[in-house]
Amino acid sequence: MVVEHFLEIVGINKSFGSVQVLKTCSMTVAAKETVVVIGPSGSGKSTLLRSINLLEPVDSGDIFFAGENITRERKKAHLLRQQIGMVFQNFELFAHLSAVENVMLAPMKILGVSSADAHDIAVDLLRKVQIPEKADAFPDELSGGQQQRVAIARALAMRPKLMLYDEPTSALDPEMIREVLDVMAELSAEGMTSIVVTHEMGFARRAADRIVFMEQGEIIESASSDQFFGGTVNDRARRFLDQIL
Ligand code: ADP
Ligand code: MG
């Protein structure tokens, strides 16, 4: 391989029972790139992200991360996941821990960072996601947008090389979507390699280098942001966009 992609997915297949959810999906992500994945519900977007994170074993095909074939590295899965931050639709914060404690936990437990150092890291990250004043608040005292920003800070605390976001704003009230997308867009602009499943096309336009369109388990289109928003879009992707916009 001459060009070493940061992430390279080569012909992955995945079935649940008799249903094939990923059909020979291939895509590459370069370092510092932000790729937005769109597509109808059930098209396999979450399964694609979960495969990259080795939360879901694929049936065939290969996934290369930083030049290494990780596809069948089940034993190394935890090491890999430390390098990949994941943010979910429903935040999934630890309810019994404050915001700062949520962010401190993984560095302490997994990296063995001291409590004092973890606290410093967490305070910095809460500042980065624009909620330093909420450090001692518990999740049920935070708005959805604030909780999601704590979740992003928590993922960043492990210093990931790749961030995966699975519909990070779809559970949020409209007025909170922007504050979360702003944080994500800033991280992307700083060069955080990211794959974002979202239908927020304003974010895609602003932050994405590339747009991937999935339908029924297939990657139908992978276009540069310029191509995509310049109008040279596959018909099926266009029809989908017409529905969501
Ligand atoms: P999307 O995120 O695009 O909505 P998903 O990746 O969640 O799509 O799901 C793709 C398909 O796989 C759907 O038909 C869904 O019902 C099915 N699926 C997802 N996870 C599982 C699972 N753990 N067991 C069985 N079927 C699943
Ligand atoms: Mg999904």
- Look up the pTM and report it: 0.95
Ion ligand 2 neighbours (CB, 5 A) are 45-46
CB contact at 8 A, 50 and 16? no
Distance 48 CA to ligand 1 centre (A): 10
Q: Please check whether residue 163 is in contact with residue 155, taking contact to mean a CB–CB distance below 8 angstroms.
A: yes
What's the CA gap between 112 and 120, in Å, rounded?
14
Of all protein residues, whose CA lies closest to atom 1 belonging to ligand 1?
42
The answer to ipTM > 0.85 is: yes
CA atoms within 13 A on the CB side of 194: 29
What pLDDT, on the 0 to 100 scale, is given for residue 239?
85
How many Cα atoms within 13 Å fall on the side-chain side of residue 181?
A: 23
pLDDT of residue 229: 86
Rounded Cα distance between 147 and 149, Å, is: 5
Please report the pLDDT score of residue 4 as a whole number: 56
pLDDT at 1: 42
Pocket test for ligand 1, best of 46, 58, 170, 199 (most atoms within 8 A of CB): 46
Q: Which of 16, 167, 212, 213 to mutate to test the pocket of ligand 1 (most atoms within 8 A of CB)?
A: 16
Ligand 1 atom nearest residue 40's Cα: 3
| Ligand 1 atom at minimal distance to the Cα of residue 49 | 6
CA 48 to ligand 1: nearest atom: 6
Q: Would you write out the chain's pLDDT as a tens digit for each of its 245 residues? A: 444 579 999 999 999 999 999 999 999 999 999 999 999 999 999 999 999 999 999 999 999 998 889 898 878 888 888 899 999 999 999 999 999 999 999 999 999 999 999 999 999 999 999 999 999 999 999 999 999 999 999 999 999 999 999 999 999 999 999 999 999 999 999 999 999 999 999 999 999 999 999 999 999 999 999 888 887 778 888 888 888 77
Ligand 1, atom 16: nearest CA belongs to which residue?
A: 42
Ligand nearest to the CA of 39: 1
